[in-house]
Structure 1
């Protein structure tokens, strides 16, 4: 992932070249531990800024609300934002219920609902159901996290790090599940797009109605995954 995309997606705030990381670490370790949280944050920001390089080169510019990434489903018009609010602000219990809601919107003439519905119906049913489950988990966790906004600065940063590690662990489990535990759909997607290039994958299950809660739970809790921590601490 390039520096621009990492920043746009909220995964990074600064870009520091690898060659400067050792010196950056050395300076950060010398920050006075008796500073107030606010002063410590200002000092850390100053040091990181000292070693950072521009996130966008002279040949590129930062993304704006008027020019989203070209890979977006559609432009972020008022209709799209309204559609996101209507169909995704409160998520249904199941992926089938989400599709039913989009079907209803498409039937009433909502272009956003029609486009999203078609995009989702073309994707792997199991992957879509897993995505919705993760989305719902994130929403539930967000409500809990908002209660700790009044925590001290250092405690908030520690919580953010723990949350990121938790997400990375879950993503690793899913990568293991889809790639090694139950690889049928991954292999089929590769075949349809890269090998035969017929763009007609035969998913398992083949339709959304046949995806059950146990299927989703099996992927989210894949117990044979090696675990991310094995690689972090090796």
Structure 2
């Protein structure tokens, strides 16, 4: 989108524009599938705060430039480079990003997210906490953090812990890419609109109330494959023991469930530490509001920054691209309860403080 910049210091990585009564946010790194940077998060936080108090803006729309997706997640190459330098910039980035996620969750105006194409990790954080979340037939979403030796963040644990049954646990541990119908089932989205009609919907939002405009373009979604797998997912993923979950998945696979076989193989390829910490994160977040969930994810994230697997996972998947990470420890059995508990220990003066500043909605 060739929109004008608001403010002389506005970075080209994200564009802001007023169209009628619509405030448009366009993530503008199409070659990187609009991967989120610290500068983009800071700019969005500033502009959304301003629009919240602007009577001329009735609705906010967030979308991605190009045709590949809204946002493929955080810029993990930048995170990798920062980890080699000590990790301080990443900690600051996450603090800003999580403040943005909290603001989106409590935004006082309709916040419409076009979750078209790839919407992964940090892309979920800037969309799935909004009040009007739209998927298409092109949507591919998910929280793939365990693949790079990390755990779901940006409020992902909060969202997936509230998905039906144990479907969110399955999505978190396997890091599976999900289609729009699965996103609707998991509670990551609300409405299905064909991708070819998004431009018309955006134009309608310039002058119409969001609810009315979206209602005119909404169509029935295809069936969710994940919803149809609830029986074995709920049976296999209940409880707090990752090793027992893996045993159940193998047993379900032996009994004829090809999907369970695939899930077991996916989990076995992930960082054992990340799998166990992700599972504990989902269990610990039950009953918390989003602000508290983000504070917990911040503690966990800083511990991953200081560990080996996060750096190794990015190296293997994105930097060297050999797809053969060397996890330490290398098995689930070697990751103790004390190891997992240490990821959730208080940070003292380094805590991220959101709970007293943010009103949650669930």
Same fold by TM-score, threshold 0.5 exceeded? yes
8 A Cα contact 2:116 2:139, kept in partner: no
Whole-Å Cα distance in 1 between the matches of residues 229 and 240 of structure 2? Answer: 23
The alpha carbon displacement at 1:224 in A equals 6.6
More helix by share: 1
Match for residue 167 of structure 1 among 287, 293, 304: 293
Does residue 1:69 correspond to 2:195, yes or no? Answer: no
Whole-Å Cα distance in 1 between the matches of residues 241 and 264 of structure 2? Answer: 14
Whole-Å Cα distance in 2 between the matches of residues 212 and 131 of structure 1? Answer: 14
Change over 3 Å in CA distance of 1:135–1:227 after alignment to 2: same
Cα offsets for 1:122-149 (capped at 9, x unmatched): 110001001111122234x27xxxxxxx
Q: Equivalent residue for 1:210?
A: 334
Whole-Å Cα distance in 2 between the matches of residues 219 and 103 of structure 1? Answer: 28
The alpha carbon displacement at 1:21 in A equals 4.5
Q: How many residues align?
A: 171
Whole-Å Cα distance in 2 between the matches of residues 229 and 20 of structure 1? Answer: 20
SS class of match (1:93): coil
Does residue 1:80 correspond to 2:204, yes or no? Answer: no
Q: Which runs of 5+ in 1 are unaligned?
A: 4-15, 28-46, 143-162
Whole-Å Cα distance in 1 between the matches of residues 232 and 336 of structure 2? Answer: 27
8 A Cα contact 1:125 1:207, kept in partner: yes
The structure having more radius of gyration, on CA atoms, is 1
Whole-Å Cα distance in 1 between the matches of residues 320 and 116 of structure 2? Answer: 40
Q: Equivalent residue for 1:226?
A: 350
Stretch of structure 1 that moved more, 69-78 or 203-212: 69-78
Q: Equivalent residue for 1:151?
A: none
Q: Equivalent residue for 1:186?
A: 310
Q: Which runs of 5+ in 2 are unaligned?
A: 1-24, 27-43, 56-107, 118-132, 143-175, 180-223, 358-362
Whole-Å Cα distance in 2 between the matches of residues 20 and 184 of structure 1? Answer: 36
Whole-Å Cα distance in 2 between the matches of residues 191 and 23 of structure 1? Answer: 39
Q: TM-score, normalised by structure 2?
A: 0.40
Whole-Å Cα distance in 1 between the matches of residues 314 and 229 of structure 2? Answer: 31
The alpha carbon displacement at 1:211 in A equals 1.1
Whole-Å Cα distance in 2 between the matches of residues 17 and 220 of structure 1? Answer: 27
Whole-Å Cα distance in 1 between the matches of residues 298 and 251 of structure 2? Answer: 35
Cα offsets for 1:63-117 (capped at 9, x unmatched): 27xx5832463663254233333323xx223111111111111111112211111
